[in-house]
Chains A and B, each alone.
Chain A
Amino acid sequence: MKHARIAWAGAIHEAVESDGELLLTRSPWVGKRLKFDEVVWLPPVAPAPQARTILALGLNYADHAKELAFKAPEEPLVFVKGEASLIGHKALTRRPKGVTYMHYECELAVVIGRTAKHVKKENAYEHVGGYTVANDYAIRDYLENWYRPNFRVKNRDTCTPIGPWLVDAKDIHDAYGSPMNLSLQTTVNGKVTQSGHTRDMIFDIPTLIEYFSAFMTLQPGDLILTGTPDGVVNCEVGDVIVTSIEGVGDLINTLGD
């Protein structure tokens, strides 16, 4: 099942995908059907009772690490993002005036489904609730070598679109065997600029869950953004960026000022 959170008719609702439409699942509109373009799409994760942990990987695809002139890391290169950087599908991301290099990063996002502490690789998928698509924008003009990638690059308002769907983990495992078997693609104004495959991750999802849960307990709703492959390019105001992951979704975003 594909789950969404939307704003419609003056309130926030939960919905599922059904025959190319949104089907509302809660009272008072349970059973109501809506077209995709009738609603405002929100990040597809329910509000968390305490601060959501959002982990994001840098240089987790060998080709991207090479593209950025780094040798592949020996352990995961991870940074943390605040929840306020998240926005939904079909939203507007702000490109500051005067910057020269702002690029998308198409990433498979893991949504934790069950508390994870000291989890071993072989059991890691039991702790995954689902998957979604994230676009982890970066503005390279602001890169500094202090706790790099620094917050001015990676924790900006509106710079982490996520969605449209939270896809149940079971659906991905049933259809593709594992989330390590999905193609990724980004288009800018309809032209393919990035393509890759989750099998090329340096640290796969079970490895990441084992690594993080060894020292930090992850809670349901926490996110792991698993990094991006080769092929990032500068984007300008007005560009429409679609980050897509096979079986998970097509996340549309537009740059604005």
Chain B
Amino acid sequence: MNPIGPSEARFWPQGTVYGALLNFQQEWNLRANQMADAPYKGAPKAPVLFIKTANTFTPSGGLISVPSAVAEVDIGANLAWVLGADAKPMACVLVNDVSIPHESYYRPPVKFKCVDGFLGVGTKARHIQQVITDAVVLTVKVNGREVQRVNYAGTVRKSQTLLADISEFMTFQEGDVLLLGSDCLADGKRPRAKPGDVVEISADGFETLVNLFSGEAA
């Protein structure tokens, strides 16, 4: 199996897609003074992880539907690693980890993050040797206007440390994907998208990930 698919074809996740929460120093710092309080009762020790299930995958260019119960959704711009057979990173891809905004990180975020269509997936994966992961800067635009820059120099766990700390208790399989983290804005929130918005996530050398957000089909 080629975990990133045929080289000419568009990238599509072949395995399980994992993501890391709280992996940017800015968000960590904003929440640090609540970490000792209930319900958390302490800062996280191991990486805090979630899974984006297969029903969430939406190709670049595809529509992402905003559920009618919410006005807008969080944009989670991420650089992601695609893992090879040796559980080492072999490619990088841009993804948009869309979420229903949620303040509490106490319970698993399935109903916020595993909604149909809630993972925009970049068209092309780049070979790991073409990318300096911890120096990548993502630009997020909504309707053509820049709303966020995400610099992977600002992560809590640098990419190899994150991989090592997760690998202590689980082994990545060929084709699995690891989202390396999405940052918040200065106010602790993430950029938002509402029906009708076009969201672009770009980085030097990557094909831009573009998704149109729509209202929920009746």
Contacts and interface: CB of A to CB of B under 8 A. Distances in A.
Given A144-B44, A215-B114, A80 B169 contact: no
B116 to A, nearest CB: 5
Contacts of A142: 46, 169
Interface in A115-130: 117
A217 B54 CA distance: 9
A51 B105 CA distance: 25
B110 A55 contact: yes
A147 B49 contact: yes
Interface residues of B, number: 43
Interface of B is mostly: loop
A85 B171 CA distance: 9
A84 B53 contact: no
Contacts of B16: 51, 82-84
Contact of B108 (A78, A216, A217, A219): A78
B188 interface: no
Nearest to A55: B110
A197 B114 CA distance: 30
Contact of A148 (B13, B15, B17, B107): B107
Given A145-B106, A147-B105, A148-B108, A82 B170 contact: yes
Contacts of B40: 145-146
Contacts of A53: 53-55, 114
Nearest to B114: A216
B145 interface: no
Interface in A41-85: 50-53, 55, 77-85
A52 to B, nearest CB: 8
A196 interface: no
B65 to A, nearest CB: 11
Interface stretch (A151-159, A173-181, A247-255): A151-159
A6 interface: no
Nearest to A85: B170
A146 B22 contact: yes
Interface residues of A, number: 33
A51 B54 contact: yes
Most buried by A among B15, B108, B114: B108
A145 B42 contact: yes
Contact of B110 (A78, A85, A145, A155): A78
B45 A215 contact: no
Interface of A: 50-53, 55, 77-85, 117, 142, 144-152, 155-157, 215-219
Given A144-B42, A157-B170, 10 more contacts: A51-B15, A81-B51, A85-B170, A144-B48, A146-B48, A147-B21, A151-B169, A156-B169, A215-B116, A216-B55
Interface of B: 13-18, 21-22, 39-42, 44-51, 53-57, 67, 105-111, 114-116, 166, 169-173, 176
29 contacts: A52-B54, A78-B111, A79-B110, A80-B110, A80-B114, A81-B51, A82-B170, A82-B176, A84-B16, A84-B170, A84-B171, A84-B173, A142-B46, A144-B44, A145-B39, A146-B21, A146-B48, A147-B49, A147-B105, A147-B107, A149-B108, A151-B46, A151-B49, A152-B169, A155-B49, A157-B171, A215-B111, A216-B56, A217-B116
